[in-house]
Amino acid sequence: MRLLRQGLGGIVLAALVASACATQTRSGAARPASDFARSLSLSMAWGRALSAGDTSAKADFTLTNTGSAAFVGCFGPSWGVSVIVGDHDAGYSVRADHPRCDEKVALLPGQKIVWSKTVPLSGLHEGTAKVTGWVKVVDPMACQQPADCHETSVATSPMTVAVGVR
């Protein structure tokens, strides 16, 4: 019986530690798991076909609230597009050390927001590219300070894109 209690105690302790580690914020404080941004879906399309040697390309993004409740949040400064041909990522990303709320966004169920960004590209060569775009959204209710907020990444599904000869 004693071994059974010790074994169960170890399992419970392991579950508590795993739960705490999975829900820690940047500041190290434990916070409950959140459904924030789980109802968001991101898609992306190129403004034109990609060609080897391109140094930039226009990407059109669409963020959709697929949930049954309104979404209220912010765009953070972080975003990016990965364009991998072979083993080289010709894409671009912006990352922030301290997430913050840059632009508020509110979407009703089924509502979309559309925007375009010019994506700098480096060393893009001919071939088949694996492409993924992403943005960071910030939960304004989980901000410790103006520049230490909880952020969540919303990414496109991976796409395959042909990069043609210039």
Domain ranges of the chain: 1-33, 35-164
In this model, does residue 160 exceed pLDDT 90?
yes
Average pLDDT over residues 118-127: 97
In Å, how far from its chain's centre is CA 62? 13
C-alpha to C-alpha distance for 139 and 99, rounded to whole angstroms: 10
Nearest of 114, 92, 97, 78 to residue 148 by alpha carbon: 97
Q: Assess contact for 18 and 107: CB atoms under 8 A.
A: no
In this model, does residue 154 exceed pLDDT 90?
yes
Q: Note the pLDDT of residue 35.
A: 83
Confidence of residue 146 (pLDDT cuts 50, 70, 90): low
| Structure token pair of residue 37 | 């941004």
Nearest of 39, 35, 41, 101 to residue 70 by alpha carbon: 39
Q: HSE of 27 in the Cβ direction (CA atoms, 13 Å)?
A: 12
User: Taking the CB of residue 147, how many other CB atoms lie within 10 A of it?
Assistant: 13
In this model, does residue 50 exceed pLDDT 80?
yes
Please tell me the CATH superfamily of domain 35-164, with its number: Intracellular proteinase inhibitor BsuPI (2.60.40.2360)
